[in-house]
Every structure is written in C-alpha cells, then in structure tokens.
C-alpha cells in the first residue's frame, strides 16, 4: 500500500490544549501540515512553539485535543509514531564522550536502521562533519554540535522532522546549507520547525504560522484544511506514513526521485539521486554525496535495544571513566573507615567482614546509581532515548545491567581485599552466588529509585533516604548468607538467605521493569 492514495496530512492537530504545571501553554491550537510540506512556527518567547513541537514529538502529554503525526494517533500509537519522527530540540541530544560517528551510529541503530554505519557516514557528510567524524562531540563548537544534532534527528530518514530553532548556534553558511542537508537525508520529510527569524523560514521555503500566547495568531489555511479533511475521511486511520512504504514489518524509505506519489516536496533540483551536494564554502570539508540507498528501518526488539544501550554506556564509561574507578575506590575507602572505626577482635573478624562488605557495597551502588541516571538526564540525552521507538523498560534494563556489572566487579574486588585484610575466607562459591543475587536485587532497587528522583532537588541527599530502607531485606539476607558461608551459623542455614535474596531480586526487578515507563512519560 503506497502513501499516495489520499492526500492526507503528515501533522494534524485539533483543539490542542497543553497545561504545564498550572499554566495553559497551548490553548486550542489547530494546525494541519500536508505531507512533504514545510512549516515554520514563529512567535515571541513563551508563545508555545517549543511546547507544540515537544507534544508532537511525544515528549509531552496534552490535556485536550487530538494529535495525529505521520498517520499515527497520539498518544495511543506513540511508539510507532516515534519511529517516523525526527526531533532536534534546544539542547543537542548527544553523548559528549562518543565521537560524531558513534553518536549517529547509535541513534540510527536505536531507530532500527539496517545499515547504521553507512547511514551515519552519509549523515555526517550531509552536515559537513566528515572531517571530524572521529572527534568527540563534547569537543565540538556549539554550531558543530547543532549540526551533529540535526544529523542525528535525520539519521533514520524520518517521515516527519520536528526542529526547534534549528538555526540556533549556526552561522549564516550553515543555515543556508540546512535545506540541502534535509533534502539529502530525508527528501520526502514533512518539516515543522520553530524560528525567531522569518527570513530563515522563507529561506526554507516554508509556510509561516504564527503562535502568540499559546494560540495560533496567523495561519489562514489550517482550520479550513482540518475542516475539509474531516469531511473527507477516506483512508484515514489506515494510511501508512508517506512516503515510506511498509513491507514485512519493516519500513523502507525510498531515495529521492523514487515512488513519491506527487506529494509536495519543494526541494532544490540538484538533489537528484547520487548527486554531489556542495559543502559550505571555506571549511575545506569533504563534499557531501546525497544518500543514494534505501533506508531500511526494522523495529528494534526489547533485548536488542537494551544491548545497544549497554554497549553505548560501556563505551561512554570506558572513555569518561567517571563512575567505575570512583565507585571502586569509594567502596574500598568505606570498608577501611568501617574497620578503622572499631577495634576488631580476631574472633569477630568474620562478622565484621560481612557487615563491612555489604554495607559499603550498598552505599557505593546507591551513589553510582544516581550518577548513572543523572548523567543521562543532565546532558539531555535521556530525552533523546525516549524519542526513539524503543520500550522505555529496555532503557531501564540497560542502566540496570550496567549497575549490576559494576557492583559485581567492585564486590569481587571487595571480597578479595577483605579476605586479605581481615584474614577471612570470603572467596568461595556460596559467597559468589550471594554476590550475584545481591547485585541484581540492589541494582533493581537503586536503579528504580534513581529514576524516580533524577529530576528532584537535592537528589544525592534524597537517594540514600529512598534506597537504603528498601534495601534492608537484601542487606539482611546478604549478611545472613555471609555468616552461613563463614560458618558463624549452623550448616544448612545458607539456603533460606539465598532464597530470600533470589525472591527479592526477582520481585524488585520485575516491579521496576513494569513501573519504570511511568517515571519517564511526562
């Protein structure tokens, strides 16, 4: 089924009402954007431009009205819609410790782009960043970061491109080159963007819609368009996004010049297939070549998404080294402080070792957990993940897995160090089993609580307050299992504790996976 059967709208908004906190930011907004059309939103600060774009990008829920993007009803079909949407906000959703190419490859992979590597290279070329493809995004200038963020938004060839002030931070040459980049990477995309500069809107060949005080102040055509569309509902609700066509569960976006059913696509003529697109003059960069292949998007499975996230987190941690070394030293230091605070008779060394080991590990993982989520939240990259068509629980599972891996490695080091310092035989199979289960249970609790408070004030202070009481059963069971493993309690008392650890791990992890999506949807 092709996308050219009915004219339809790529974006259809009726009576949209958004309240943020206690203020009505959008009031009864109605807007219709035809497929392939470009619309520029203008208006003063606080007009509601960003809110409208965020609502369309599924980042905000709304109070009243209906919203349909790329043929999908929001919020019901949010996940399907996200696959067809590309969004670049005020803050670039980039990982500063990853290179430009790695950033683009990661986002292309999250959207299920089959050949993410090639697509990343094409996107880099389109925004004239090929010469710095191996450079870390954090070292880029504001303008380069903005170009990279725009490339990331277009890397999966979205059907609807939502850009919040795409010209912010760009020099005049880059702004002039923006239409070419869009034409190269997603030639059929419907583009809705906000800008303070009407000249930019005109340069992009866009229809201008003015927002003021949360209402559409000037837009002659949308209300009539929506009304006329309502009278001719043929095909609506079953149309796939245009110009993509769906085949066997995957979405194939045709390159320019193929299979477009005459939709509005006001692009410069030079963007025919395979044609060279000039790069901005004076930068000495490799000329960009228009994308000449098909972009295949296959919905990414739950575990494939989680593994992509884990791989990304491991790579970031390997480069940044901002968590693991600190966590390791911190837990060792805690063990040292505990042991120095008490005079330990040799006979009590085993009992002290158990408390020291698990107490320090729990405190350490509590702080590591909040950092893991805070880093993603503060850099704005969490919003980037939530924009992708992946199950939010997969995002949780990725963070959780990294936290468990960190805690397990730190626990192993602790077991070794305390065995030596306290002369207690802690390295045995029973202790390793307890460590594995405790790491999972503590990881689930800590990751869940971190997700809850990542946007709270004084979150580092709040974190232990939330996580430690819930972790008490895990702590008690771990200490009980250690006492049994060290022979402090009668033989056979180990199993109930291991059982309690296993039950705690299963209950807390299951609940966290189910509840996590509720913590991220705004």
Partner 1 sequence: MAHTSLPVRATRLAIGPLRGWRELALYGGLLALMALDLYLIFVFAPTERVQGDVQRIFYFHVGSAWLAFVAFFVVALGSVGYLWRRTPRWDYLAVGSAEIGVIFTTLTLATGSIWGRVVWGVWWTWDPRLTTTLVLWFIYVAYLALRTYLDNVATRRRMAAVLGIFGFVDVPIVWFSVQWWRSLHPQPTILQQGGGMPREMLVTLLVSVATFTLLYAVLLRQRFALERAADQAAALRDLLRAQAEIGG
Classify residue 48 as left (phi > 0), alpha (psi -120 to 50) or beta. Answer: left
518 lies in the binding site for partner 1 (CB under 8 A): yes
Structure tokens at 153: 């938004």
User: Does residue number 76 form part of the binding site for partner 1 (CB under 8 A)?
Assistant: no
Q: Least separation, in Å, of the C-beta of 466 and partner 1?
A: 5
Q: Residue 13 interacts with partner 1 (CB under 8 A)? A: no
Residue 35 φ/ψ, nearest 5 degrees: -65, 130
35 has which bridge partners?
Answer: none
Q: How far is the CB of 472 from partner 1 (least distance, A)?
A: 5
- Pick the closer one to partner 1 by CB: 336 or 470: 470
Taking only Cα atoms into account, the Rg of the chain, rounded to an integer number of angstroms, comes to: 27
d(CA 122, CA 184): 9
- Choose one: 68-76, 179-187, 455-463, 485-493; the region binding partner 1 (CB under 8 A): 455-463
Distance, in Å, from the CA atom of 334 to the CA atom of 494, rounded to the nearest integer, reads: 26
Nearer residue to partner 1 within complex by CB, 22 or 76: 22
Query: To which residue do tokens 């990304």 refer?
Result: 312
Run of H or E residues at 363 = helix 349-378
Minimum distance of partner 1 from residue 443's CB (angstroms) = 14
309 vs 304: CA distance, rounded Å: 9
Residue 377 makes contact with partner 1 by CB under 8 A: no
For 210, 389, 455, the CA distances from 355, given in Å and listed in that order, are 64, 43, 32
Strand partners, 72: 69
By CB under 8 A, tell whether 455 contacts partner 1: yes
Encoded one letter per residue, x for contact with partner 1 by CB under 8 A and - for no contact, window 410-449 reads: --------------------------------------xx
d(CA 25, CA 173): 34
Site for partner 1 in 485-514 (CB under 8 A): 496, 500, 507-508, 511-512
**Contact call for residue 320 and partner 1 (CB under 8 A):** no
Per CB under 8 A, the list member of 247, 413, 472, 495 interacting with partner 1 is 472
Backbone angles phi, psi at 370, to 5 degrees: -65, -35
- Between CA 439 and CA 508 the distance in angstroms is 12
**What's the min distance (Å) between Cβ of 514 and partner 1?**
9
Alpha-carbon distances of 512 from 376, 386, 469, 508, rounded to whole Å: 18, 17, 16, 6
Give the nearest distance from C-beta 515 to partner 1 in angstroms: 5
Is residue 31 near partner 1 by the rule CB under 8 A?
no
**Do residues 108 and 297 touch, judged by C-beta distance below 8 A?**
no
- Name the strand (E) or helix (H) holding 503: helix 494-520
Q: Which of 138, 169, 205, 213 binds partner 1 (CB under 8 A)?
A: 213
CB of 467 to partner 1, least distance (A): 9
Confirm or reject binding of residue 224 to partner 1 (CB under 8 A). Answer: no
Q: Are 128 and 279 in contact (CB under 8 A)?
A: yes
With binding defined as CB under 8 A, does residue 220 bind partner 1?
Answer: no
Distance of closest approach, residue 481 Cβ to partner 1, in angstroms = 14
Work out which of 215, 264, 430, 506 binds partner 1, going by CB under 8 A: 215
In the complex, minimum distance from the CB of residue 391 to partner 1, in angstroms, rounded to a whole number: 17
In angstroms, what is the minimal distance from the CB of 91 to partner 1? Answer: 18
When the beta carbons of 246 and 510 are compared against partner 1, the nearer one is 510
Binding of partner 1 at residue 457 (CB under 8 A)? yes
Sole binder of partner 1 in the list 21, 233, 262, 490 (CB under 8 A): 21
CA dihedral (235, 241, 245, 250) in degrees, to 10, reads -120
Structure tokens at 516: 């996590």
What number of chain residues touch partner 1 (CB under 8 A)? 40
Q: Which stretch binds partner 1 (CB under 8 A): 13-21, 129-137, 139-147, 338-346?
A: 13-21
Q: Is 460 in the site for partner 1 (CB under 8 A)?
A: no
Residue 55 CB, shortest distance to partner 1, in Å, is: 14
Smaller CB separation from partner 1, 143 or 473: 473
Q: What is the edge-to-edge ordering of all strands in the sheet holding 250-253?
A: 245-247, 250-253, 295-297
| DSSP state at residue 78 | H
Question: Of 215 and 417, which has the nearer Cβ to partner 1?
Answer: 215
CB of 507 to partner 1, least distance (A): 6
* Residue 229 or 519 having the CB closest to partner 1: 519
Q: Are 143 and 67 in contact (CB under 8 A)?
A: no
Interaction between residue 210 and partner 1 (CB under 8 A)? no
Report if residue 468 touches partner 1, rule: CB under 8 A.
yes
Cis preceding-peptide flag for 257 (omega within 30 of 0): no
Contact between 380 and partner 1 (CB under 8 A)?
no
Among 135-143, 256-264, 409-417, 451-459, which window interacts with partner 1 (CB under 8 A)?
A: 451-459
Round to whole Å and give the CA distance between 443 and 430. Answer: 20
Helix, strand and coil in the chain, % to nearest 5: 50, 15, 35
Task: Give residues with Cβ within 8 angstroms of 76, minimum separation 6.
Answer: none
Please, which residue, 254 or 493, has the CB nearer to partner 1?
A: 493
Q: Cα(130)–Cα(126) distance, rounded to whole angstroms?
A: 9
| Interacting residue ranges for partner 1, rule: CB under 8 A | 17, 19, 21-24, 27-28, 63-64, 213, 215, 217, 448-449, 452-453, 455-459, 462, 465-466, 468-470, 472-473, 496, 500, 507-508, 511-512, 515, 518-519, 522
């Amino acid at each position: 089924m092709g996308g050219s059967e009915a004219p339809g709208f790529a974006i259809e908004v009726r009576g949209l009402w958004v309240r943020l906190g206690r203020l009505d930011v959008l009031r009864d907004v109605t807007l219709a954007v035809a497929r392939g059309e470009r619309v520029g939103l203008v208006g003063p600060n606080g007009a509601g431009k960003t809110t409208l774009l965020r609502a369309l990008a599924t980042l905000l829920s709304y109070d009243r009205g209906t919203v349909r993007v790329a043929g999908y009803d929001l919020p019901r079909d949010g996940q399907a819609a996200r696959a067809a949407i590309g969004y670049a906000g005020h803050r670039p959703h980039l990982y500063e410790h990853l290179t430009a190419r790695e950033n683009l490859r990661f986002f292309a992979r999250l959207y299920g782009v089959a050949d993410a590597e090639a697509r990343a290279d094409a996107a880099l070329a389109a925004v004239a960043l090929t010469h710095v493809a191996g450079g870390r995004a954090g070292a880029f200038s504001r303008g380069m970061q903005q170009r990279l963020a725009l490339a990331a938004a277009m890397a999966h060839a979205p059907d609807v491109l939502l850009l919040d002030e795409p010209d912010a931070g760009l020099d005049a040459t880059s702004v002039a080159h923006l239409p070419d980049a869009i034409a190269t990477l997603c030639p059929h995309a419907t583009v809705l963007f906000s800008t303070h500069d009407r000249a930019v809107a005109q340069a992009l060949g866009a229809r201008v819609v003015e927002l003021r005080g949360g209402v559409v102040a000037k837009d002659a055509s949308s209300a009539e368009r929506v009304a006329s569309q309502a009278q001719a509902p043929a095909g609506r609700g079953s149309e796939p996004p245009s110009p993509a066509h769906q085949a066997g569960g995957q979405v194939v976006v045709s390159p320019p010049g193929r299979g477009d059913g005459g939709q509005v696509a006001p692009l410069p003529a030079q963007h025919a297939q395979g044609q060279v697109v000039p790069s901005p003059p004076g930068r000495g960069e490799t000329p960009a070549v228009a994308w000449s292949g098909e972009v295949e998007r296959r919905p990414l499975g739950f575990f494939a998404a989680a593994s992509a996230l884990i791989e990304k987190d491991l790579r970031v941690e390997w480069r940044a080294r901002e968590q693991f070394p600190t966590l390791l030293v911190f837990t060792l230091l805690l063990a040292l402080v505990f042991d120095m605070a008490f005079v330990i008779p040799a006979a009590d060394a085993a009992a002290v070792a158990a408390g020291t080991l698990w107490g320090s590990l729990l405190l350490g993982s509590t702080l590591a957990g909040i950092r893991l989520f805070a880093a993603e939240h503060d850099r704005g990259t969490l919003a980037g993940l939530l924009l992708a068509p992946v199950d939010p629980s997969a995002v949780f599972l990725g963070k959780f897995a990294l936290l468990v891996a960190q805690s397990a490695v730190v626990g192993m080091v602790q077991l070794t160090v305390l065995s030596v310092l306290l002369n207690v035989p802690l390295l045995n199979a029973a202790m390793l089993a307890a460590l594995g289960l405790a790491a999972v249970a503590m990881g689930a609790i800590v990751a869940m609580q971190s997700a809850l408070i990542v946007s709270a004030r004084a979150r580092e202070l709040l974190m232990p307050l939330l996580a430690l009481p819930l972790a008490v059963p895990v702590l008690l069971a771990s200490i009980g299992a250690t006492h049994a493993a060290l022979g402090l309690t009668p033989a056979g008392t180990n199993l109930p504790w291991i059982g309690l650890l296993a039950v705690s791990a299963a209950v807390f992890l299951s609940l966290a996976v189910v509840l996590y999506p509720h913590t991220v949807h705004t």
